Amino acid sequence: MRPFHSIAVAALLSLPFAAGPVPAFAAEPDGPEKLVGHEEAIRIAIQEQLSAKFTSTTETHKQEQGALVEFYSLPEHETLWVDEDGLTKKGKAIVAELRKADEYGLRSADYAVPDLSDFKPASFKANPGKAAKRLADAEINISYAVMRYANDARGGRIKPARLSGYLDPELRLPKPLEVIESISFRSDPAAYMRSFQPDQPQFEALRRKLAELRAEDGVEEEVVAEQIVLPAGPTLRRGMKHSQVALLRKRLDVEAIAAIGDGAPASDPEIFDGAVDEAVRQFQREHGLTPDGLVGPGTRRVMNGGGVPAITGNDAKIRLILANMERWRWLPNDLGDFYVRVNIPEFKLRVVEDRKVIHTARAVVGKPSKQTPVFSDQMETVVFNPSWHVPNSIKTEEIRPYIRRTGGWFQSSSWDTRVLDRHNLRVNYNGNTNPQSIDWDRVDVRKIAFTQPPGPSNVLGVVKFLFPNKHDVYMHDTPQRFLFNKQIRAESHGCMRIQNPDQLAEVVLNHDQNWNMSQVRNRIANSYDQGIALKTKIPVYITYFTAWVNADGSMSTYGDIYGHDARMERALNL
């Protein structure tokens, strides 16, 4: 494909296209007047419009305008969408596809094209200049719509980093000239347009769920779910009798019909029977909770609207689906044959091979004030019994404030460095490793190296997984394993703590180097701060999906812990 050069565009813009109506004939430099055919008249009108001064305000639109100038300046490039009779077969196909944009989570109104339904070929006889200009307008506008659609389908509608510094996906936006050149020789331009949509099963599942919700008549509000609140109380479980079970039934819309074998009369609504148990488990599955059937503090909080907001009514569900469909556009179509994905709101890690999940683990992610960023990179190294090198944010916020001068005017002073002892931290400042000989009031704490050696109290645990990135985050073990029992696991400084990291190490190294669990455990027992370089880098995707369509067609939702849903809905005008 020909590259787009600004010099070429400048030359094209300087061509002496005639102003005003397009004549039915043109004079050759050294010959008699020659009649101009209808198609040539349309081409001249296209070139006249494109020769106008660039008026685009955005860089994307400038590239689109430049692409059309270059494409339509070449004599071998015929019109794509119109001819003297109006829309061609390809033109009708592409217009029909653009009008289906809403089905894919886009907005068809963003790709408006002129209506040529009333265009008559006889128009050229009455006013050839006006007819040619009208067809030229349609050709250009459809081409603009095609390029804009391709850009939007690949995630170019919004700039994620403008919504939050923690949103840092690598967008792979198509080049306008490549789009228009490629579609020019496609026999099925509509299929080519659809190829820009994410080619992932979950995107398609969300698309189908979107169509299902839009097709439903009216808006179904979960009124009961909004009104019923479960107060604090004991953990409710199957078989027990408690007054709150009656509230639970109303919250989940379960009739008071006891299951066989529960030993309770069908008329007693306070018995936690099999029907209530199944309803609780289904609620937990749909909200990313452990489906154990127990109604404890975590499940109560979610039922009462805490942690995971209640999604009530089709309008709210549709907005949620649209925001999540947009996030799929941030990922490449080909995620790879083997990759690792952490879904932040779900607090879960998955390893996928050939589109099948082969390993899952719970994850602890960043606090709302220390968010785990959304981005992609490649895993390069697995480190056993790593040392921890303290990042600057923790140096300034959680170490330096606790180091104080001790003593007074009449006694020798020293430094209270117990915070270093508590966390087994070693310091190095220009070769000086004695914390008492450092003037903490004068030195920039960020220039001091703090290191925690390997050991049972090391904050990284026994394994870490490195995928170098500008955010300086990675995945690792943790000695605070009790955190994995929490339902809401936003507790870290941005890195991801992974449950059973030895299993993840075995899965990764088995794929890369045919390791087994015995080899992994041997390294954990005998190696210190040893990194195993992967022979083939493994893609890592840190995602933020708050809605997921399950195999049975139900939809699970997860809490918008960082507020990204709300920002995206505003940016997309949902």
CATH classification of the domain holding 254: 1.10.101.10
What are the counts of helices (DSSP H) followed by strands (DSSP E) for the chain? 20, 20
Burial (CB < 10 A; 0-12, 13-18, 19+), residue 510, is middle
The reply to whether 99 and 190 lie within a common domain is: yes
The reply to whether 382 and 394 lie within a common domain is: no
Six token digits for residue 166: 């923690």
The reply to whether 296 and 239 lie within a common domain is: yes
Looking at the domain assignment, is residue 504 inside a domain? Answer: yes
Looking at the domain assignment, is residue 310 inside a domain? Answer: no
Residue 25: per-residue pLDDT: 37
CA distance 15 to 74: 13
Instruction: Tell which of 197, 232, 252 closes a domain.
Output: 197
The reply to whether 14 and 87 lie within a common domain is: yes
Looking at the domain assignment, is residue 215 inside a domain? Answer: no
Tally the residues of the chain. 574
Residue 56: per-residue pLDDT: 63
Task: Show the beta-strand stretches assigned E in 238-334.
Answer: none
Q: What long-range pairs does 302-307 form, CB within 8 A, spacing at least 24?
A: 302/487, 303/225, 303/230, 303/251, 304/229, 304/230, 307/487, 307/488, 307/559
Instruction: Supply the DSSP string of 439-490, one letter for each residue.
Output: -TTTS-GGGSEEEE-SSTT-TTTTEEEE---TT---EE--S-GGGGG-SS-E
CA distance 329 to 331: 5
The reply to whether 240 and 295 lie within a common domain is: yes
Six token digits for residue 498: 């992974």
H or E stretch at 249: helix 243-252
Burial (CB < 10 A; 0-12, 13-18, 19+), residue 28, is exposed
Residue 37: per-residue pLDDT: 76
Beta strand pairing status for 33-35 and 25-27? Answer: antiparallel
Looking at the domain assignment, is residue 556 inside a domain? Answer: no
**Domain housing 86:** 6-197
Residue 411: per-residue pLDDT: 53
Looking at the domain assignment, is residue 341 inside a domain? Answer: yes
CATH number for the domain including 339? 2.40.440.10
Three-state SS at 543: strand
Looking at the domain assignment, is residue 175 inside a domain? Answer: yes
CA distances from 438 to 419, 426, 431, 435 (A): 15, 13, 11, 5
The reply to whether 395 and 468 lie within a common domain is: no
Q: Of the candidates 397, 488, 483, 401, which has an alpha carbon nearest to the alpha carbon of residue 440?
A: 401
The alpha carbon of 419 is separated from its chain's Cα centroid by a whole number of angstroms, namely 39
Residue 458: per-residue pLDDT: 94
Instruction: Please list the residues that pair with 541 across neighbouring strands.
Output: 341, 376
The reply to whether 465 and 345 lie within a common domain is: yes
Residue 456: per-residue pLDDT: 84
Three-state SS at 557: strand
Beta strand pairing status for 356-366 and 348-353? Answer: antiparallel
Beta strand pairing status for 338-343 and 348-353? Answer: antiparallel
Q: Of the candidates 65, 140, 148, 138, which has an alpha carbon nearest to the alpha carbon of residue 106?
A: 148
The reply to whether 372 and 407 lie within a common domain is: no
Residue with tokens 């690949």: 154
Q: Of the candidates 73, 8, 13, which has an alpha carbon nearest to the alpha carbon of residue 46?
A: 73
Quickly count: other Cβ atoms within 10 Å of residue 249's Cβ: 22
Ranges of residues in the chain with a pLDDT under 50 are 1-35, 217-226, 258-265, 308-310
Rounded (to 5) percent helix, strand, coil in the chain: 40, 15, 45
Largest CA distance in the chain: 111
The total of structural domains in the chain comes to: 4
Residues 6+ apart with CB under 8 A from 196: 149, 150, 153, 154, 174
Q: Of the candidates 173, 148, 171, 206, which has an alpha carbon nearest to the alpha carbon of residue 325?
A: 206
Q: Of the candidates 18, 60, 236, 70, which has an alpha carbon nearest to the alpha carbon of residue 154?
A: 60
What's the mean pLDDT when you consider all of the chain? 86
Looking at the domain assignment, is residue 185 inside a domain? Answer: yes
Q: What long-range pairs does 332-339 form, CB within 8 A, spacing at least 24?
A: 332/172, 332/376, 333/198, 333/199, 333/200, 334/199, 335/200, 335/539, 335/541, 336/538, 336/539, 338/511, 338/538, 338/539, 339/538, 339/539, 339/540, 339/541
String of b and e for 530-550 (b: at least 16 CB within 10 Å)?
A: eebebeeebbbbbbbbbbbbe
The reply to whether 76 and 128 lie within a common domain is: yes
Amino acid (one-letter) located at 271? I
CA distance 171 to 331: 7
The reply to whether 86 and 127 lie within a common domain is: yes
The reply to whether 84 and 179 lie within a common domain is: yes
The reply to whether 48 and 71 lie within a common domain is: yes
CA distance 572 to 322: 9
Six token digits for residue 285: 């599955």
Quickly count: other Cβ atoms within 10 Å of residue 203's Cβ: 21
Looking at the domain assignment, is residue 502 inside a domain? Answer: yes
Instruction: Please list the residues that pair with 356 across neighbouring strands.
Output: 353
Residue with tokens 């050709």: 139
